[in-house]
Structure 1
């Protein structure tokens, strides 16, 4: 489907981004955050991404933000400066429309243009749809950490996937 468009982040996107992210904090183990961040915290996070010049993309339908993606340093130490980690979040009603695929396609292009050489996906192991889309883009499994996140009264594994850019 092509009823959506991709564009660069704008400050006015912070409330919608916060709402989308907080849905996942409250209802899933896709993120291991256990407390929902407010708009000031999200604005600070996205402001930092902007300062660094890192890729930050949003998807919208009819002017409504329905998803976002960004890539930023995998770890803070200087030796990791060419390796990024991706994050993609969709409004629950926006799933299954090709938006995640489009966001990842653009994120890969922008990350490569930025100068990142490797992209790491850190995914909760039971999130098969996210794992599958990354595999379709050529990411390969490079590790699994067992029982490293405790949320909703149970332990969760994570998998690491990697793609050379």
Structure 2
């Protein structure tokens, strides 16, 4: 009888459904934990569910929306969204790291410029989902408190830096 009770109490991984053993609480492997963490990040930052991300990815034929390159082994592609209204804006598609970070400022060919223009005019995410998903933006981190004494740095005539403490002007 105790074995029947034990089987009913078995827990499973929230990602793959595998059996949890020992001290495992939610995930049966580091890979499952990593997948769930990425899914949570995409949902919290961009408002996309894993199914919506996969729909966009399949619509782009599992390639970068601009350069059409497939991901290399272990490489993760990035969700792109507009930034004109701060961190929040409509999701446009999924890009390789190069196109996401460097291509816009360094267009090297007319074909890539046209591909970028096509991407911006008709974002694959909007076409694939049939609606515009607006990214909430990255959560803000709290800033460290500033000290009450500010350090003023000035440059002397000989190119040397002169640093001295001056009282904070906000607290007279």
What's the TM-score once normalised by structure 2's chain length? Answer: 0.28
- More strand per residue: 1
Higher-Rg member (1/2): 2
Higher relative contact order (CA 8 A, sep 6+): 1
